[in-house]
Amino acid sequence: MDLQIHNKVALVTGASSGVGRACALALAREGVRLAVAARRFDELEAVAREALAAGAADARAFVVDLGQPDSIEGLVGDIRGTLGEIEILVANGGGPRPGSYAQLALEDWDAGYRTVLRSAIHLVALALPSMRARKWGRIVALTSSSVKEPIAALALSNVFRTGLVSALKTLSNEVAADGVTVNAIATGRVLTARLRSLYGNDEAALARAAREVPIGRIAEPEEFAPLVAFLCGEPARYVTGQTISVDGGLVRGLYG
């Protein structure tokens, strides 16, 4: 399927590895002008090279610390100066510190707010005016199954990712008539460094994580990318305000 986004300027944050990298490469195959951003420049440069080989019209690596507002401002300014105004935003980032409510200090809540919720809101605020002016834009946030079913010992993720989904739903209604769609992906168990940090690296721990999923296995990052790319494309122009689960059936709720 031709997603009709050739030469569109796309930013993917958290793109040095995992789901972010997979989404960046899926968009590259659609011929976008791609900005990949994260903290690790060497890994980002490798992703940018892969993107060019995959078919991106252009691909550049940018360093950003999503916990620092000045870094986010600099990132968007640098993209404008090299690739142009952002037309597609895939907001992705690492999860906040794990812990139960009682285990977390106020400083942890402040950090979780900055890295999960404020950073995404800031990126949207910087990219949105040009999208509305052009009457076209795509915003997709990668979140977690915790937005539909709270996860034990992940209090910060439960709170701030849910807050982000609420903010995006509110936004989607305000900008729909401007040709801007806003959606979120609720990811389940994915084979990433984050999952290994939560469950452990040994085979028994990963097998336990897999047993929690009805489909019986942990997802690969590449299994999320086609849906994200589709939501960024022209054929998905009537899909907005949704939080779509890609979790192998992990969330048991009727509307999971």
pLDDT tens digits for range 81-133: 999 999 999 999 989 999 999 999 999 999 999 999 999 999 999 999 999 99
The topology under which CATH files domain 9-244 is Rossmann fold (3.40.50)
Residues 214 and 251: their CA atoms lie apart, in Å, by: 9
Please answer whether residues 36 and 59 qualify as being in contact, where contact means their C-beta atoms are separated by less than 8 angstroms: yes
The 3-state DSSP composition of the chain as helix, strand, coil percent (nearest 5) reads 50, 20, 35
Residues of the chain with pLDDT under 70: none
How confident is the model at residue 193, as a pLDDT?
A: 81
Tokens at 205, concatenated: 């721990």
- Tens of pLDDT, residues 44-64: 999 999 999 999 999 999 999
For the stretch 237-256, what's the b/e string if a residue is b when 16 or more beta carbons lie within 10 angstroms of its beta carbon?
eeebebbebbbbebbeeeee
What SS3 class is residue 27?
Answer: helix
* pLDDT, averaged across the chain: 96
In whole angstroms, give the CA distance from residue 103 to residue 89: 34
Q: Is the dihedral of CA 106, 108, 109, 115 positive or negative?
A: positive
Phi, psi of 140 (to 5 degrees): -130, 125
**Beta-strand runs (E) in the chain:** 9-13, 33-38, 58-63, 88-91, 137-144, 180-187, 243-246
Output the pLDDT for position 200: 78
What pLDDT is stored for residue 192 in this prediction? Answer: 84
Cα–Cα distance measured from residue 240 to residue 179, given in angstroms and rounded to the nearest whole number: 10
R_g of the chain, CA atoms, integer Å: 17
Beta bridge partners of 37: 13, 62
Phi (first) and psi of residue 17, to 5 degrees: -160, 175
Q: Where are the domains of the chain?
A: 9-244
Backbone angles phi, psi at 13, to 5 degrees: -90, 160
Task: Give the amino acid at 101.
Answer: Y
